[in-house]
Amino acid sequence: MTIEYRQAALEDAELLINIYNASFYSDYLRYGSCPGYGKTKEMMEESISKYPKYIILCDNEPVGSISCKKLEKGVYEIGCLCVVPEYQGKGIGTQAIQFAKTLYEDSEKLTLVTPIDKKENVKFYTEKCGFHIESIERDGNVELARFVI
């Protein structure tokens, strides 16, 4: 299994929408809404323009995405990490976090949020990736854990 990353371009908007929708459909069903699910082409193109996104390729097949944005000097937020369900549990997300750590030379701290009641995400970020929970936040009716490493 070969994992590679390719920076997304505007023409990848439809591909990313398909990856996001496959990855976040269960969250959409669970919470009634999900910021990663149901984006329009225009929304995705704007997101690609503002926040660098990388398409995760497994044996040349697009299977996920990771995006990061600079919050302040040395501090970056992983805005989205997603892997389509049939490729989850194969170490792809863990490798994507390692990739994100190497993206920025001045990176001193990585942060991200995920719903705290998604125990599989909490376990993934703490046990497999080395993050710890810094705080709890709220986004509408969803309680989020803020992770840092």
Domains and CATH numbers, the chain: 3-148 (3.40.630.30)
59 vs 75: CA distance, rounded Å: 31
Residue-level pLDDT, tens digit, the chain, 149 residues: 999 999 999 999 999 999 999 999 998 998 888 888 999 999 999 999 998 999 999 999 999 999 999 999 999 999 999 999 999 999 999 999 999 999 988 999 999 999 999 999 999 999 999 999 999 999 888 899 999 99
Q: Is 3 exposed, middle or buried (0-12, 13-18, 19+ CB in 10 A)?
A: middle
Question: Which residues neighbour 51 within 8 Å (Cβ) at sequence distance 6 or greater?
Answer: 67, 68, 69, 79
Q: What pLDDT was estimated at residue 15?
A: 98
Which tokens go with 60? 């040349």
> How many C-beta neighbours within 10 Å does residue 8 have?
23
Q: Write down the pTM of the prediction.
A: 0.92
Q: What pLDDT was estimated at residue 73?
A: 94
Helix count and strand count (H, E) for the chain: 4, 7
Rounded (10°) angle between helices 13-31 and 41-50: 110
